[in-house]
C-alpha cells in the first residue's frame, strides 16, 4: 500500500499531520477533505502537494521516510482541487439512493513536481 502526507497547501492555513493511503489522487482528495474541515467552510479551492512516504518501524514506533526516485529526488504530486456541496444522488445495491454532503473534484493536475 502506498502512503502520502501533505507537503504544502496554497493558500496557507492549518495542515493536519495525517497519513493518507491509496493512489496519489485519492490521497490528495482525502487530504482536501481534512483541510476543508479545518477551515470550516462549505466550499473551498486549494492547491495541495502530497509527498509519497514509506512507514518504517524504529524502536517500536512508525516513522515516515520520504520515497526517493533513482536520482535521489522526493516523489511529490500537485493538484488543484475544489470541494463543493453535492446534490446528485448515488445509487447503491440494496441501499437505494444516498446524497453525500460534499464532493471533491480535481480541477487541475500538475503531475509530478520537483
**pLDDT tens, residue by residue, 41-98:** 778 999 999 999 999 999 999 899 999 999 999 999 999 999 998 888 888 888 888 8
Task: With residue 33 as reference, give the H or E element that holds it.
Answer: helix 24-39
Higher pLDDT, 46 or 12: 46
pLDDT value at residue 92? 85
pLDDT value at residue 66? 94
Residue 14 has pLDDT above 90, yes or no: no
C-alpha–C-alpha distance, residues 17 and 84, integer Å:
23
Answer whether 58's CB lies under 8 Å from 98's CB. no
| Helix residue spans in 1-114 (DSSP H) | 24-39
The label of the residue with cell 493558500 reads 11
Query: What would the mean pLDDT of 99-105 be, rounded to a whole number?
Result: 87
pLDDT value at residue 39? 84
Answer whether 69's CB lies under 8 Å from 112's CB. no
Pairing of strands 96-98, 102-113: unpaired
In terms of Cα–Cα distance, which of 45, 44, 47, 56 is closest to 19? 56
**pLDDT interval class at 4 (50, 70, 90):** very high
pLDDT value at residue 107? 95
Amino acid at each position: 500500500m502506498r502512503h502520502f502526507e501533505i507537503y504544502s497547501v496554497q493558500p496557507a492555513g492549518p495542515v493536519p499531520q495525517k497519513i493518507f493511503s491509496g493512489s496519489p489522487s485519492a490521497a490528495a482528495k482525502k487530504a482536501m477533505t481534512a483541510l476543508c474541515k479545518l477551515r470550516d467552510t462549505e466550499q473551498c479551492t486549494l492547491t495541495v502537494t502530497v509527498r509519497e512516504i514509506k512507514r518504517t518501524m524504529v524502536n517500536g514506533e512508525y516513522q515516515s521516510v520520504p520515497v526517493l526516485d533513482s536520482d535521489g529526488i522526493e516523489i511529490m504530486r500537485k493538484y488543484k482541487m475544489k470541494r463543493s456541496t453535492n446534490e446528485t444522488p448515488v445509487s447503491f445495491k440494496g441501499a437505494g439512493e444516498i446524497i453525500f454532503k460534499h464532493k471533491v473534484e480535481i480541477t487541475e493536475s500538475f503531475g509530478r513536481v520537483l
